[in-house]
Amino acid sequence: MTHPLVPSPSRLAGRLSKTRAPLGALVLALAAGLRAQPPSAPPAAPPVSLSPLVVTATRVPTLAEETAAAVTVITRAELELAQLGDALAALKTVPGLSVADSGMPGQGAGLFLRGTETRHTAILLDGRRLPTDMQRYFDLGYFPLGNVARIEVARGPLGAAQGGGALGGAVNFITQRGATDGVSGTLAGDYGTFATRHAEVGVTAARNGVSASVGGAHYATDNRRPNSAFEASSTLNTFGWQVTPAARLELLAGWLCRDGGSPGGGTQTTAADPDERFEQELWFLAPSLIVKTGEAWTHTVDFSLARQHSAADNTQVFSDYTTTVRTRGLVYQVEFHPSVALAAYAGAERGWQDADYAPGAGNFALPFTRDERHVAVFAGVQFKPVAGLTLLASARRDDYAAFYGAANTWRYGASYRVAATGTVLHAAEGTAFAAPELQNFVDFGFGPPPTTLRPERARGQEVGVTQELLEGKLTLSATAFQSKTTDLVQFDFLSLTSKNIGLARMRGVETSAEWRFAAAGAFTVGYTYLEARDAVAARPLQRRPRHTFFAELRGEPLPGWTLGAGLRGVSDREDTDPVTFIRAQQPGYVVARVFTQYEVNKNLRLKLRVENALNRRYSETAGFPALPLGVHGGVEWRF
């Protein structure tokens, strides 16, 4: 399948690999193509565009089309219409992002953004890094979206903007804010197959410069397999105070507790670990101060404090253990906007992370403790020399001197909007790095662990085009990309220790189309072609399907009644069986979901959704079968 805007994926990817002039020529060509035009003054006002403002790719509010990056934004309205209540369900609709969960809510999940590892996607909440565990990633096996206003997914190496761990890109959950004076809220609940229960409450209030958005949720399900019952409670809150016209205080605070069975590999009726349980508790606190000194300058100071505790009990395949990771961070950033044609930012960051691993009874591993410190400085600039053209450049230096040394990352790019046709072109190149997983340094009894490892590094390029048609109601987009990751940390079975021995190459094409034919009606389709290979072993990377697609149609047949359906397909991919440890081809699958809601009045809504509507038998991860058909109904009261 090939998008009509681009040649075949293999030809496009091949052209990218040949233009190793590392996209600098392409970026310069966008600017050089304007030399024939007469000189013009910088635009007096930003160009009219339907593109949303985003912050993930550039650290500062920027129109998505001017970031020189492939960015997907999922709005609150889209989440509610499609009844997407948790992070994984929403992220499965994003081009270039492959999700491999463990078959049921509450189990672990892998995110493979443009073919990179799960630990290579930065998970953010309001731009702040969510705390990671020993594997250096935040597990989105269950993350509710009750108080989330939108989700931004920026693809490509973003080390210059987001620091370590953003080799594939970043996912940023932006919380809701109290915008206008008054009080509003939502009380919702639903019940469905497998005794699944969910309750949620949210209140937003604002008055005289003081605002609050408070949300809480509880989720519980028996699931289908033995020892797979899961329960979670959470709260996510934001507070703000406009102290003066030039100064504002904000506070982000949250808590998440997850507890459930961990059945391991097996079938719908069996479990490798019939008694194992996994518990996790996370809390975080993040105050901020934003000060404007004049029209052009904005200063922001962020402090974050978080603690994540995990425990595995009654294990059979592996031994019991507990881990505790505590993080603190301090960030200062200054933004300078002297005109609509120029914007710049710079800042510094200091981070602390303390990790403890405590083996339980029968565990041959040794206790492990590590205190890490790092400092970083960063800067970026955006320049619009003529109407429609945006040039960007950014750089960052992170220093983990005590363990991994220093890493320099950078990104540059250009975007150009052809006003007459509604066409947006973009090209970019960037780098990123990731510190090794903490678990690589734990002595699990196989032999002495490594004392030092080099950071994993990535360098990638992309070119893309977006075309608006039908007065902006129809949007077509395509992006071709390639990247290389070096110094991948892998377990060496000869020395029984982790080493920097890996090399991976990824390339592909992401395409999407969206037709907004009514206020509540839209048809969206996306397709991604991906080649992700282990260049050392000369074979495909596991759980990276070559073809994925997504389609969704929703509309309003009658006033107050919305109806929609979604379809998602994943092609064959390689995976390792968790019982036999044999690497084999995992069959592809196509799954469907249906959702509908009826607005009884301005306060009351009735909802119904059907997951796996075709009742397909499939597994996103080998040995972890997905749930069969499930029906869920609920009610929502707004005030």
Q: Is 24 helix (H, G, I), strand (E, B) or coil?
A: helix
Candidates 279, 276, 262; CA nearest to 315 is 276
How many C-beta neighbours within 10 Å does residue 604 have?
Answer: 12
CA distance 402 to 416: 43
- Residue 138: inside a domain, yes or no? yes
> What CATH number has the domain bearing residue 34?
2.40.170.20
Q: Hey, what are 306's tokens?
A: 């978080």
pLDDT value for 14: 44
Beta-carbon contacts of residue 10 (< 8 Å; ≥ 6 apart): none
pLDDT value for 226: 87
Beta-carbon contacts of residue 41 (< 8 Å; ≥ 6 apart): none
What sign has the CA pseudo-torsion 419, 425, 431, 434?
positive
- Residue 596: inside a domain, yes or no? yes
CA distance 396 to 378: 4
Strands 121-125 and 169-175: parallel
CA distance 486 to 464: 25
Contact 458, 504 (CB under 8 A): no
- Residue 1: inside a domain, yes or no? no
pLDDT value for 23: 44
Candidates 546, 556, 528, 554; CA nearest to 588 is 546
- Residue 2: inside a domain, yes or no? no
- Residue 143: inside a domain, yes or no? yes
Q: Where are the alpha helices (DSSP H) in 158-258?
A: 159-162
With a cut of 70, which residues of the chain have pLDDT below it? 1-50, 269, 272, 316-318
Number of domains in the chain: 1
CA distance 472 to 174: 25
Q: Is 227 helix (H, G, I), strand (E, B) or coil?
A: coil
Give, for 76, the enclosing helix (H) or strand (E).
Answer: helix 76-81
DSSP labels, 327-365: EEEEEEEEEEEEETTEEEEEEEEEEEEEEEEEE-TT--S
Beta-carbon contacts of residue 343 (< 8 Å; ≥ 6 apart): 60, 335, 336, 337, 381, 382
pLDDT value for 501: 87
Q: What are the DSSP E strand ranges found in 208-296?
A: 210-221, 230-244, 247-261, 277-292
Give, for 598, the enclosing helix (H) or strand (E).
Answer: strand 589-599
CA distance 359 to 329: 28
pLDDT value for 316: 65
Q: What are phi and psi of 261, to 5 degrees?
A: -70, 155
> From residue 517, how far is each of 471, 514, 520, 521, 523 by CA, in Å?
11, 9, 8, 6, 8
- Residue 418: inside a domain, yes or no? yes
- Residue 3: inside a domain, yes or no? no
Domain limits at 515?
9-638
Beta-carbon contacts of residue 55 (< 8 Å; ≥ 6 apart): 61, 62, 127, 152, 172, 174
